[in-house]
Structure 1
Amino acid sequence: MCRTAQDPDGEPDVDLADAAFTSMLEDSAEELYEQAPCGYLSTLMDGTIAKINHTLLEWLGLERARVVGRMRFADLLTVGGKLYHETHFAPTLQLEGEVSGVALDIKAVGGQRMPVLVTSRVKTSQSGEPMLIRTSVFDARDRRAYEMELLRGRRAAEEARRQAEADRDRLQEALAVLQQSLLPAQLPAIPGLEAAAHYHTASRDLLGGDFYDLFPLGTGRWAFFLGDVCGKGPQAAAVTSLTRYTLRAAALHDPDPITVLTTLNTVLHQRYTSGDTRYCTAIFGTLHPGDGHVDVHLASGGHPSALIQRADGSADYLPTPGGMLVGVLPDVQFASAHTRLSSGDTMLLYTDGLTEARTGPKRELYGEDALRASVVGRPPAGPQALISALTELIAGFGDGLDDDTALLALGVPSARPASLPTPASET
């Protein structure tokens, strides 16, 4: 029951509960102002502080008597904060009547810099005249710490990104060096024979498994090979290295093409028998230069057939059907073939990255027929010209070429002299 005061005639006079509630509200409002979790102050229009709460005084480490009527709001700020207040904050407040959430620094207790967020509003009279400025000051130390931590995180991420890019550049350099170590630095000069090669890397970040070589066997004979190891990366590079050196060593022992590929098959099958099967396709052959021609004897292990462009402009594949992949089974059969390259003839060896490129709107395989047609459509001008033309073709595939491609062209220089202009006296 509510207690009430009564006048002498017994009638209720004042509701004591309402009075207590009103008193509580007044006490709470003052306490809320003084002990609020943020700073409050009111200033005259010239910035002189007329009222300030206990919270802000605590942050500043100042007594109320030293502040009220004696200091301006700008005096509470650091040098940088005061400069910003005079040049930006105060003019904006005067122009717009309100400034919200501006980051400033106040001179906190002990001379420490304290980051705050400041919101100020101009209070006007009923006639619209500015009377005073009410300002709220919010502690932004946690926010500043968060921002600094975020900045440190960004800097760390940026440094990690730069380091990763540097590491990637070094890795790519190392991969390029390793890739080059798997290929001959340059093709040897062979009397009566022209040779040219090209290697296209589909990805700078992955080692390819394509390989080729041309080297002497002694007694005027030469050997060549070109192939493609299954897979990419370090594992494929290891197989490529093993394959190249095995082929070279086997050829020096017995250069018969089928014997050489059989030796390679034995080495790969014995080396990779623990479930991590590694295999390759390869063509190996020997060259026997003669008087204006070169006899070729080659064998294929699951590799695309060599394409021969004749001096008359025709082009056909040298069939090697039935040649099996190298390294999969202990006992395999390889297909061999013979041909003679005469003056102006060129033999092209390639890996399937070329013929399996995707072209056109339907992303169809380029294919062996298109390759043959491309070669037929070009005048026979020797291995280097053919490799240059195919290099341009490969560049035109763009992202349709997603596999490494190795090219090796061997040919006999044309015996026909280059045509000379007819002297004017004979016309």
Structure 2
Amino acid sequence: MCRTDQVPNEPSDRDQDAGATDAAFTSLLEDSAEELYEQAPCGYLSTLMDGTIAKINNTLLDWLGLPRQRVVGRMRFTDLLSVGGKLYHETHFAPMLRMNGEINGIALEIKAAGGSRLPVLVTSKVKTSSDGEPILIRTTVFDARDRRTYEAELLRRHREAEEARRQADADRARLQEALEVLQQSLLPATLPAVPGMEAASYYHTASPDLLGGDFYDLFPLDGTRWAFFLGDVCGKGPKAAAVTSLTRYTLRGAAMHDRDPVSVLRTLNAVLHERYNSGDARYCTSIFGFLEPDGDRTAVQLASGGHPSALIQRADGSADYLPTPGGMLIGILPDAQFTTARTVLSRGDTLLLYTDGLTEARIGPGRDLYGEDALRDFTRAQPPAGPQALVAALTTLLTGFGDGLDDDTALLALGIPATPPAAVGDPLA
């Protein structure tokens, strides 16, 4: 049964779409292979084995600015190249082509219209006869101006980056030099000579780009007494350096007026708390003390504010801490409590002060803390040869920690030589 409203033989929508596709495909076939060759976006040419150009497309002729009759059968491929291109063709391009039968993406320059040079990428392949004999060379030439521009821009950016890196290195070197000078200004250039005693110090900076907060000093008060201190300011950088400078000069000034180490630390606590109690809390730990040399003995009186206890190496080879428990951080509270201790150094004894960078160094595969027990055992293992020998041994120890020593570390050692120095005019001197 058929429908009366359907018109016989009328094409469907699908038939109409298929017809449109066939028409478009037919129009594409009207472009001959020769037309595609001539108007290709890249240059094509075929040469005889001696390089004589046998065929060339319009695209390449347009780049060269030459008529076909002047090129085909009259010029060789190398005649299209710049002087440098000819030299490279003879020394590299042609030998590699003969050896491999093809060569891909070689950068050359051709002599373009108007006398300019056109950077190109060249791909060539040798075509052989049925019996394997080479009969011609087919070459494709790609315009590489965009690539050359990109490479030039890339080179320019690379040079800019190198210059920026050199400038950054120079700036970094100047900054490190400035930081080193500033760091040195926060430490005594040399330790003074205390009559009848020996002193030694060492400072390790964890980062050359940051000012450290560790500090120490040794200075005379009058004809019989000397003052010393060692401490650690919280943080690093310029702000920590400002606190370090204020701390050093406060301790020096207070030492001139107070004979009690606790009073000196209280003065420092008051200064820091008053200066830094408005949100940007700054504090430090420190040991401050007085020395009173008297012949072969030196009385030591000290006070500690939150700092690791001093260590004493005795002339008999023993070593132990001088306990100062309970001392509070300096600058946090308005009324901080500090701990005092007294001892006497005899001939051959050494008092060692240090910051926690030493005992908190990381060691071993487990990155464990070095610790106070290890420091005491290390000191006991050293011959009691005086402050300089002990600091030298500890310096070697610190170096051995490598990257496990990630904090600034200061050492200050004070002691009485085991053998008194020979007097002037002594025949044994």
Length-normalised TM-score, structure 2 = 0.89
Match of 1:67 in 2: 71
Q: Contact 2:127 / 2:136 at 8 angstroms: preserved in 1?
A: yes
Cα distance, 1:26 vs structure 2: 6.0
AA aligned to 2:158 is R
User: Structure 1 residue aligned with 2:165, among 156, 161, 165?
Assistant: 161
Cα distance, 1:186 vs structure 2: 0.2
3-state SS of the aligned residue for 2:279? coil
Matches within 5 A, 1:74-93: 74-93=78-97
1:351 correspondence with 2:355: yes
User: Structure 2 residue aligned with 1:119, among 119, 123, 128?
Assistant: 123
Provide the rounded CA distance (Å) in 2 between the counterparts of 1:36 and 1:296.
96
Structure 1 residues 21, 367: CA separation in 2 closer, same or farther (over 3 Å shift)? closer
Match of 1:194 in 2: 198
Q: Deviations over 1:112-136 (max 9, x none)?
A: 1111011112222223232222111
Match of 1:299 in 2: 303
Provide the rounded CA distance (Å) in 1 between the counterparts of 2:90 and 2:136.
17
Provide the rounded CA distance (Å) in 2 between the counterparts of 1:26 and 1:66.
30
User: Structure 2 residue aligned with 1:149, among 142, 150, 153?
Assistant: 153
Match of 2:389 in 1: 385
3-state SS of the aligned residue for 1:274? coil
Provide the rounded CA distance (Å) in 1 between the counterparts of 2:25 and 2:412.
100
Match of 2:220 in 1: 216
Match of 1:8 in 2: none
Cα distance, 1:85 vs structure 2: 1.1
3-state SS of the aligned residue for 1:104? strand
3-state SS of the aligned residue for 2:69? helix
Structure 1 residues 417, 212: CA separation in 2 closer, same or farther (over 3 Å shift)? closer
Match of 1:10 in 2: none
Match of 1:130 in 2: 134
Provide the rounded CA distance (Å) in 1 between the counterparts of 2:364 and 2:28.
84
Structure 1 residues 335, 97: CA separation in 2 closer, same or farther (over 3 Å shift)? same
Provide the rounded CA distance (Å) in 1 between the counterparts of 2:359 and 2:272.
26
Provide the rounded CA distance (Å) in 2 between the counterparts of 1:361 and 1:132.
69
1:257 correspondence with 2:261: yes
Cα distance, 1:22 vs structure 2: 8.3
Match of 1:289 in 2: 293
Provide the rounded CA distance (Å) in 2 between the counterparts of 1:350 and 1:22.
93
AA aligned to 1:296 is V
Number of residues paired by the alignment? 401
Length-normalised TM-score, structure 1 = 0.90
1:239 correspondence with 2:243: yes
AA aligned to 1:358 is R
> Gapped runs of 5+ residues in structure 1?
2-17, 419-427
Cα distance, 1:107 vs structure 2: 0.6
Structure 1 residues 23, 355: CA separation in 2 closer, same or farther (over 3 Å shift)? closer
Structure 1 residues 27, 186: CA separation in 2 closer, same or farther (over 3 Å shift)? same
Structure 1 residues 51, 152: CA separation in 2 closer, same or farther (over 3 Å shift)? same
AA aligned to 1:43 is T
AA aligned to 1:318 is L
3-state SS of the aligned residue for 2:142? strand
Match of 1:362 in 2: 366
Structure 1 residues 222, 117: CA separation in 2 closer, same or farther (over 3 Å shift)? same
Provide the rounded CA distance (Å) in 1 between the counterparts of 2:246 and 2:57.
82
Provide the rounded CA distance (Å) in 2 between the counterparts of 1:241 and 1:143.
59
Q: Deviations over 1:174-215 (max 9, x none)?
A: 221111111100000111111111111222222211100001
AA aligned to 2:233 is V
3-state SS of the aligned residue for 2:357? coil
Structure 1 residues 129, 259: CA separation in 2 closer, same or farther (over 3 Å shift)? same
> Gapped runs of 5+ residues in structure 2?
1-8, 10-21, 423-429
Q: Contact 2:312 / 2:322 at 8 angstroms: preserved in 1?
A: yes
Cα distance, 1:57 vs structure 2: 0.9
Identity of aligned residues (%): 78
3-state SS of the aligned residue for 1:143? helix
Provide the rounded CA distance (Å) in 1 between the counterparts of 2:44 and 2:277.
80
Cα distance, 1:30 vs structure 2: 2.1
Match of 2:106 in 1: 102
Cα distance, 1:417 vs structure 2: 8.7
Provide the rounded CA distance (Å) in 1 between the counterparts of 2:421 and 2:234.
44
User: Structure 2 residue aligned with 1:52, among 46, 53, 56?
Assistant: 56
Provide the rounded CA distance (Å) in 1 between the counterparts of 2:317 and 2:262.
31
**Cα RMSD between the aligned structures?**
2.0
